[in-house]
Chain A
Amino acid sequence: MVLKVTYSINPDPEAAAKEILLNCSGLDPSAVLFFASSRFNPESISKSMKNAFQKATVIGCSTSGELISGKMLKQSVVAMVCESDTIGDIAVDIINLNEPGSTETILTQLAGKYGKKPLELDPEKYVGIILIDGLSCAEERVMERLSDLTNITVIGGSAGDDLAFKKTWVYADGRVYENSALLAVLKPAVKFDFIKTQSFCSLKKKLTATKVDESTRKVLEFNNKPALVAYSESLGIQKETANSSFMKYPVGLISDNEPYVRSPQRTEGDAMYFYCQIREGMELDILESTNIIEDTKKAITDKQKEVGKILGLINFHCILRTLDLEQQGKTEDYGKIFSDIPMIGFSTYGEEYIGHINQTSTMLIFY
């Protein structure tokens, strides 16, 4: 099996792509996945990566930080280069987030390339990767529709722009797309599995969303009280300083003992905005952060015990986790967890796994 990960910190897109190509000399890749800092001109980096790997399907997106085996990087481009003995087949298309029905149309077309309907795709043979505009607020809508239509797991991340919050891009075969989601349906030639890890435990305190503006991810009331009041009371903190607790105490939906995290973003009066949609009537647990390093090590070790050697890993890693690690001075420790695993990833504006989630790492592994 041939899978290689590599990176460049050369600020010139063409030179960076050439360096990546040079690092992969002798390979005949069928698929290339790359994540590039938003400092790279989008058109140039997309075109340069495609020029470097003309025979391969080349996909990627802009980031808010990059990850590669052993390192967390900034202002770089990281790439995973796979020959056909790793990624047997890959079908890619672009979902236009402005166009109603685009998700269904694109998924149906991609499944059709394998001669199947979306629901006929065997989740043990096929997997979806989604890279989506991180400022579109469309992730829930798209993921929910994909989940309706197919049983394959769709995993991915929301593209970033190095915390500028102005514009993000997805890349496919030399082209650049805005307000779009790139959807790839892969038929790996090796086995694959998933890791979803978030460093939180439930405080067993419940908040039920009783008044919500779903379209803006704004919660007006929890437990029939102003949202910020209910949140603060549950934690026994002052609402005036509750903002400082958001990263440590997000909320989550619990499914099979696994939290699906919704992170508070900011307040407006006593209303709370989240990085993820919360629906009216949803019952959420207040979560408390635990140790990202230890939890991630355990998640990786547990998976290695289950599947054996991990041959490749794609890590969609929440920007809030990156910021947390930076605050604690632990980015080096985090990178080292993956020293012996061929891994690329990026700091996302949201993670996708079955649905849209926050403060999580969703990982696709090949073994």
Chain B
Amino acid sequence: MIIFPLYMSGKIHSMISTIINERAKGNPSLESSTRTKLILKGIDPSNFSEKSEDDPVIIEKLLKVASDMGITLKV
């Protein structure tokens, strides 16, 4: 289980990185396909950096995405 503290900035970026890393386990081809899967779900990883605002709507979406993929994230 990965825990993201509430005060952390760039939370979305971290969550996306975690989803990609958990799913791809370092395989570049799977990293690419996981990024594509996120884009097709409406979350473009390239739009979020470590400085991105912690938008609760996107965070909620990512929690659902992670859950659907069998990855446990906790904010």
- Chain B positions within 8 Å of A, measured between CB atoms, are 23, 29-30, 32-33, 35-37, 39-42, 44, 47, 68-70
Contact = CB atoms under 8 A, between A and B. Distances in A.
B68 A283 contact: no
Contacts of B41: 144, 279
B35 A354 contact: no
Contacts of B44: 253, 283
Interface in A101-154: 119, 123, 140, 144-145, 147-149, 151, 153
Contacts of A254: 39
Contacts of A354: 33, 36-37, 40
Interface in A315-367: 354-355
Interface string A246-287: 000000011110101000000000000000000111110000
A185 B42 CA distance: 27
Nearest to B23: A151
Interface residues of A, number: 23
Interface of A: 119, 123, 140, 144-145, 147-149, 151, 153, 253-256, 258, 260, 279-283, 354-355
A237 to B, nearest CB: 27
10 contacts: A123-B29, A144-B41, A145-B68, A148-B69, A253-B40, A255-B39, A260-B39, A260-B40, A281-B42, A355-B36
A256 B29 CA distance: 11
B70 A255 contact: no
Given A280-B42, A281-B42, A283-B44, A153 B33 contact: yes
A262 to B, nearest CB: 10
A304 B44 CA distance: 32
Contacts of B42: 279-282
Nearest to A355: B40
Nearest to A117: B70
Contacts of B33: 151, 153, 354
Given A151-B23, A279-B41, A260 B30 contact: no
